[in-house]
Structure 1
């Protein structure tokens, strides 16, 4: 059912520009109907579990077509149809095969969020509410809970909200923390978290162990396996998270915990974040001036823009933005022009599009070794690193390069760090006393 969210969003966009009479003929609506009706038929489930949702969905698209508008609030309600239908189908099928199940909509089971539509945050009141509802139901009538992922209810509006794409991971870890589970499992279509994106380089291999810090950095800087915020509840509850493969259940997967032995670890994984915009901000007035950085970041705060990576010198500041997260495609250039216009009131600004962030996730205690090897590899490939950020995170070194060079950089770096077999010779075992090189096994 995985493409349903994309089809719902496309259907909504088309409804804005088509007439009311044509809303019921939108191609994506037809695809959604056919997929869900075919699925219930193949599983032998009563079609009534989805029929009312399909009717309501068609009416919603007609309403969007009539208003010629798709607000963020309506968009969240629109995409909720996919989770609501798939969870009902799955729950009905479990009951059919004799595994007693009960379906829950997250917005009715206690998931209370901010009213930031399309990217809501879970509020603390969620944990006791979810725990009470699930425990009470279990004690009175035990059944497997099947809960919709990535949905919630705004605490002021009481409207359906979403936690952002991939937010079902966050739903899972939130339930895990609420119930005080001993382990949370997240099932994907790969053998856990990998050393790099396998679509870029096929020789990527699973990473057996990660810390929550490493997992959070991996998710934020481009790894598609986990939701960027999903580790927070598990970290707070000190609950291990195991990432497994639905298509290869015998694979051990990746275990994510609060801490692990990093002694022999150099690099854990290499992540790529595309479609990055870089800003060079230069001002001689910055030299010795109090409050310059505050002025720069106050501009981003006023415009509601998040900054990814930052590097500073005496008279300049370089940083990266990720417009794909913040604006519609139609408004990206308009918003960037506005950013530059505001910044040029206090500095000279150079905007650079089509950049990429390569994040080296690992043991920053070995940063000199990591940087030495990384720059040797990139110099050999003729790639110029335009910016580097290291220090704030204890597990991440980020390099900014041209986007069209990024994939071959990933391939070359992966071969050097994970396939050459010579890193262990360069490590010195801490506490060896005499400073002599002592080979240690490099994890991953």
Structure 2
């Protein structure tokens, strides 16, 4: 059971999560926690301020005060001893003074800095469960057996992690049974032996890794939404939960901007064949979304609509005409050299349209100098048009119905006066991506959601399918379909 930052953001929320865990007395879950609320962001901001403020003022950084106040207040409200976190808070202050003195925040130090959030939240929660009489044991993932690459801020879990984690947790359970409370998001570099982080949202990856290592029956990811939704509810309030997803669909949703799941987090669960259930810790009775290897797609058309805004699009046309071998290779080697990730691609022999991932690094966006440099390099081999303020609308759905999805989508966009500037279908075939102007994007998502999910579209499709198969169709006055 993995709980995100908003699920454990205060003493009240921790009580709720403890009650939720205790409401399944027959289960002995492994619990993975993120840092409390906005603690990770505050730690990063504190580190950045420390670089420029000078050592004497490091202890006066506002974000440090916020972090101290939140954790000490939570401990007080839960009736626990402040010594649980006081050592960490003192060490955190010393670390920020060191950063201020060196006037430097390396990626390695940044990972160590943000690890304080999870280390404190898990200790508070484990102590609270023990106080309630439910035996719990806290684990730091970097001591539990999470072995990673040394790519600080975005490390990958290595295969040696699975047997190491299984051995430690099984051994401790046999010796002295207790609910494990594990830090999400963290690992240990295999060469450096330093603390690493798994990238933004990496606590989901911690949970699925433990699930695979132990061969568990189910992995539950508890969020602040009722599962994976048909679109972002902030864009369109009529979004509803999707009851079932495949791992392929979940991966595409995650990569193209749905904030519910981490793009890499599905991999261990897929490999282990373990279902992932996305639930709402604020609404525990909502059924949520179950993600599995396969699902019945017979009645499924469109699963979800995802919007990724503020992307950059490049139209690249070769300066030589047909038969220029190696053109694609040259284009992509330029992106590789500059370390810039490409989202979607549409290509012919002499031209390529592609979009760039706006969050090349999870802490900031692409900067203009990098874009100018890309264009400069590409112009040595091609004519380049740089188009900014674009959005990708990704339609995640049934591969067998892609023509139907496209037909419906383009009809909707035509009626709304929107021209699609690029279209791309991924190799997994579950994702069709359309590029439009930023200014039109939210209106497009609302119109598409209304057309696919609200206006009887599925009934129309079922009716057409039955008729195509030679089945007489009766449509009742309430729109229900009866095929005999």
Q: Is the CA contact 2:358–2:365 (under 8 Å) kept in the aligned structure 1?
A: no
- SS of residue in 2 equivalent to 1:190: coil
User: Residue 342 of structure 1 aligns with which residue?
Assistant: 377
CA distance in 2, matches of 1:40, 1:438: 63
CA distance in 2, matches of 1:85, 1:409: 43
In the TM superposition, residue 436 of structure 1 has moved relative to its aligned partner by 8.6
Which segment is superposed worse, 429-438 or 165-174?
429-438
- SS of residue in 2 equivalent to 1:285: coil
- SS of residue in 2 equivalent to 1:36: helix
User: Residue 392 of structure 1 aligns with which residue?
Assistant: 427
Q: Work out which of the residue numbers 265, 269, 273 in structure 2 matches 1:230.
A: 265
CA distance in 2, matches of 1:178, 1:330: 35
CA distance in 2, matches of 1:202, 1:62: 45
Deviations 1:105-153 (A, max 9, x none): 0000000111111111111110000000000000000000000001001
Length, aligned pairs only: 441
In the TM superposition, residue 92 of structure 1 has moved relative to its aligned partner by 0.5
- SS of residue in 2 equivalent to 1:317: strand
CA distance in 1, matches of 2:120, 2:419: 49
CA distance in 1, matches of 2:145, 2:316: 45
For 1:13-32, list aligned pairs within 5 A.
13-32=48-67
In the TM superposition, residue 339 of structure 1 has moved relative to its aligned partner by 1.1
In the TM superposition, residue 430 of structure 1 has moved relative to its aligned partner by 9.1
In the TM superposition, residue 337 of structure 1 has moved relative to its aligned partner by 1.4
Q: Is the CA contact 1:282–1:348 (under 8 Å) kept in the aligned structure 2?
A: yes
Gaps of 5+ in 2: 1-35
User: Residue 190 of structure 2 aligns with which residue?
Assistant: 155
Q: Work out which of the residue numbers 32, 38, 48 in structure 2 matches 1:3.
A: 38
Q: Is the CA contact 2:318–2:327 (under 8 Å) kept in the aligned structure 1?
A: no
Q: Is the CA contact 2:200–2:362 (under 8 Å) kept in the aligned structure 1?
A: no
In the TM superposition, residue 394 of structure 1 has moved relative to its aligned partner by 1.9
User: Residue 34 of structure 1 aligns with which residue?
Assistant: 69
Q: Is the CA contact 1:323–1:332 (under 8 Å) kept in the aligned structure 2?
A: no
Q: Work out which of the residue numbers 300, 306, 313 in structure 2 matches 1:271.
A: 306
CA distance in 2, matches of 1:313, 1:239: 40
- SS of residue in 2 equivalent to 1:324: coil
User: Residue 281 of structure 1 aligns with which residue?
Assistant: 316
CA distance in 1, matches of 2:314, 2:99: 38
In the TM superposition, residue 286 of structure 1 has moved relative to its aligned partner by 5.1
CA distance in 2, matches of 1:266, 1:103: 44
User: Residue 66 of structure 1 aligns with which residue?
Assistant: 101
Q: Report the CA distance shift for 1:302/1:190 in structure 2 as closer, same or farther (over 3 A).
A: same
In the TM superposition, residue 424 of structure 1 has moved relative to its aligned partner by 3.2
Q: Report the CA distance shift for 1:96/1:391 in structure 2 as closer, same or farther (over 3 A).
A: closer
Deviations 1:231-266 (A, max 9, x none): 100000000111111011111111100000111111
User: Residue 278 of structure 2 aligns with which residue?
Assistant: 243
User: Residue 172 of structure 2 aligns with which residue?
Assistant: 137
CA distance in 2, matches of 1:430, 1:292: 48
CA distance in 2, matches of 1:146, 1:103: 5
1:365 and 2:395 matched:
no
1:101 and 2:118 matched:
no
Q: Work out which of the residue numbers 239, 251, 260 in structure 2 matches 1:216.
A: 251
CA distance in 2, matches of 1:436, 1:348: 57
Q: Work out which of the residue numbers 63, 88, 109 in structure 1 matches 2:123.
A: 88
Structure-2-length-normalised TM-score: 0.88
In the TM superposition, residue 18 of structure 1 has moved relative to its aligned partner by 0.6
User: Residue 254 of structure 1 aligns with which residue?
Assistant: 289
In the TM superposition, residue 190 of structure 1 has moved relative to its aligned partner by 0.8
For 1:286-301, list aligned pairs within 5 A.
287-301=322-336
- SS of residue in 1 equivalent to 2:343: strand
Deviations 1:281-340 (A, max 9, x none): 011425221111011111111111211100012321011111323386586111111111
Q: Is the CA contact 1:12–1:64 (under 8 Å) kept in the aligned structure 2?
A: yes
In the TM superposition, residue 433 of structure 1 has moved relative to its aligned partner by 5.1
For 1:122-133, list aligned pairs within 5 A.
122-133=157-168
CA distance in 2, matches of 1:105, 1:430: 56
1:180 and 2:206 matched:
no
User: Residue 114 of structure 2 aligns with which residue?
Assistant: 79
User: Residue 204 of structure 2 aligns with which residue?
Assistant: 169
